[in-house]
Structure 1
Amino acid sequence: METTGRSVAGAGDGRSGRTPAAEAATAALLGILGGLLGLAPWLLTGAHLPVQNLWGRETQPGDMPVALLPLSQYRSTTLVALLTVGASAAGLALRALRPARRGFAAACAVGGVLLVHGGAAIQSFTVLSSGLYPEPRSSIYVAGLLGGTIAAIAAGVVALLMLAAPSRAVAALGMGLMAVPFASWLAAAAAFPAGPGGVPIFLTIVWHWLPAVLVGAALSWCGFKPPARLWVWAADLALLWLIPALFTSVNYVLGTRAYLGNFSEMAILSREILAATLGPAGGAGPIVLMALGVGLVGALSMAVLARKNRRPEPAPHGGGGQP
């Protein structure tokens, strides 16, 4: 029996024939590929640094140097999407892989993502810093972009770990966190090659409602039981209400050159825009209600199907003797 137990345990540890080194290498590769996937919409454009207000010399857009990140105050939310979606894709791939040493594999995947994102950030900020006017405003501008980039990279790592977690509730919360950035990533993937005004109107409608569908699908998959998962429902719906408002506020404030560098005025303006966007006039209500409706319908349907699958088949009628 002892030999059999060892053989069964050994089969369980190597159910897919993966050694610890192979799992680590695979997870790191998933992180690298995920990081590259996230940056792909920008890299495919040729990755010329966006035109800068503080650039040291007159330069045409096509003559700007290559930068692996679109560093610009006008593309701040796009930058967040590029740096978080790839990391979350690595987390989903790791979840599908189901490594035996999940924590170690997750650390390797994080290392792969950080290798890509850290290298891209170093290259891009080197290019940006070398071309700006040598004045205090340039230093403030670079520091602000660097802080936002580091925060976006950290958010991507959090999303990766949540989506790779064994808990369905934690993974569903990660999906809710990434719904809006994923829609922004798809919008960027369509807008970069199409150029200004080149995206069809129906696609802009899709980007608007897609986060609600994604959050609703995540809630359906999460389900109601145990009752503690209702907190995930509340958190995902709150994120769907809050994150688009944050994106709108950041885009508006950073895109207003008159207030750039005036931190007190920027703070006042951001509060006003955020309050207006979170209010009834912001238009978040229908999106949240749609996500709730999709989640309820999906979760109830899955519960009914699960109950049918658990229902025992009726015993056959007739004599109970041996044939």
Structure 2
Amino acid sequence: MSHAHHVTEQVPASKHRPARAGFQAAVALLIGTLAGALGLLPWWITGAKLPLQNLWASPVMPEQMPLALLPLSQYEILALIALLTTGGALAGLAVRLWNPGHRTIATWCAIGGVLMVQVVATVQSFSVLKDGLAGGKLTDFYYFGLLAGAISSIIAGMVALLLVAAKSRATAALGVGLVVVPVTSWAVQWVIGVAGRSNMPLEVPTIAHWVPAVLVGCALAWCGLKPAVRIIVWVLNLAFLWVIPAVFTAVQSVLATRAIAGDIPEMLSMGRSVLTAALGPDGGAWQTLLLAVGIGLAGAGIRAIAARKISSQP
């Protein structure tokens, strides 16, 4: 009798498990969809008109440009990277804060949700762009260059999602280090979207210069220095903080210069010289690195002291 009773108690528990997994998968899919949309929202609130194109087939006014869910233009490439990368990072953060029981299922469903939004936006925007561009070799180079940038940004967002959503604190801290620069650019896009580019407060670029260092410092403090393998996370995050803004600066400089558009050797040469200058001692990167290390060490020290006090209590 007791054995039969035991069996009847076990059945509902096993029935609940798939139902719970299904519910968490649905929630994660919704989280991913919302995060993907939130990533693109700073662009959408501007009215989402395709930026004016140098290679457009017919002359038109800005307000006559078609609706595009992504800001496709060589002048907006950093905004495009920021919008697409941040969607993945936000979904990863949401999964991490939620901490679902079926973490792997939830993470992959969140990826599905983000991808659904971003793929639809990419297909729609590039269809509109293709329809309006004048033909020619330079047009093809421009179109496929932008497409490669969009796809790379979506992949970067998925990597960020997997890292930030991971159980390991060190892995999540690494994910934060990878996305702080695009996420800061995304926050600036909000200011531009709300206030307009011409009305942007003068302090915004200065604040945006220091925000990545503060966020990396906080991530390093949260990560800590023990076990010693976490020092690798510190080194990588500081490398990201040094290199990624320099790469962004180089890309922006090259793509915003119309004089050398389409001249690949000249573009590469200019990009290399801007990148070298940005990475060098006069580029100012050492100040942000010092700030990040300072915050990281101070935070890790405070956490270590607090942990020691708690453990020494009777």
Structure-2-length-normalised TM-score: 0.94
Q: Residues 142-157 of structure 1: matches in 2 within 5 Å? A: 142-157=143-158
Deviations 1:158-214 (A, max 9, x none): 000000011110100000011111110011110133223311122222111000110
Question: What residue number does 1:86 align with?
Answer: 87
**What SS does the aligned partner of 1:19 have?**
helix
Question: What residue number does 2:186 align with?
Answer: 185
Q: Distance in 2 between matches of 1:167 and 1:6?
A: 37
TM-aligned CA distance change 1:16 to 1:264, over 3 Å: same
Q: Distance in 2 between matches of 1:292 and 1:178?
A: 17
2:72 maps to amino acid: L
TM-aligned CA distance change 1:160 to 1:55, over 3 Å: same
Q: Where do 4+ consecutive residues of structure 1 move more than 6 Å?
A: 5-18
Deviations 1:32-69 (A, max 9, x none): 00000000000011100000000111111111100000
Q: Distance in 2 between matches of 1:9 and 1:220?
A: 45
Question: What residue number does 1:132 align with?
Answer: 133
**What SS does the aligned partner of 2:289 have?**
helix
**What SS does the aligned partner of 2:105 have?**
helix
Greater share of residues in helix? 2
Question: What residue number does 2:34 align with?
Answer: 33
Question: What residue number does 2:55 align with?
Answer: 54
Between the aligned residues of both structures, percent identity stands at 48
**What SS does the aligned partner of 1:49 have?**
coil
TM-aligned CA distance change 1:21 to 1:230, over 3 Å: same
TM-aligned CA distance change 1:18 to 1:81, over 3 Å: farther
**Aligned length, in residue pairs:** 313
- 1:68 and 2:105 correspond: no
Question: What residue number does 1:217 align with?
Answer: 218
Question: What residue number does 1:321 align with?
Answer: none
1:104 Cα deviation from its structure 2 partner: 1.6
Larger deviation, residues 191-200 vs 258-267: 191-200
Deviations 1:120-145 (A, max 9, x none): 00000000000000222111110000
Q: Distance in 2 between matches of 1:274 and 1:193?
A: 31
TM-aligned CA distance change 1:26 to 1:274, over 3 Å: same
Question: What residue number does 1:316 align with?
Answer: none
Q: Distance in 2 between matches of 1:311 and 1:17?
A: 44
- 1:123 and 2:102 correspond: no
Matched-pair contact (CA < 8 Å) for 1:34–1:113? yes
Q: Distance in 2 between matches of 1:196 and 1:62?
A: 16
2:159 maps to amino acid: V
1:244 Cα deviation from its structure 2 partner: 0.3
Larger deviation, residues 246-255 vs 12-21: 12-21
1:229 maps to amino acid: R
1:310 Cα deviation from its structure 2 partner: 1.1
Structure-1-length-normalised TM-score: 0.91
1:258 Cα deviation from its structure 2 partner: 1.4
Matched-pair contact (CA < 8 Å) for 1:13–1:100? no
TM-aligned CA distance change 1:19 to 1:252, over 3 Å: same
1:74 Cα deviation from its structure 2 partner: 0.4
- 1:308 and 2:304 correspond: no
Q: Residues 270-309 of structure 1: matches in 2 within 5 Å? A: 270-309=271-310
Computing the radius of gyration from Cα coordinates, the structure with the larger value is: 1
Question: What residue number does 2:209 align with?
Answer: 208
Q: Distance in 2 between matches of 1:42 and 1:56?
A: 24
RMSD over aligned CA atoms reads 2.5
Consecutive unaligned residues of structure 2, counting only runs of 5 or more, are: none
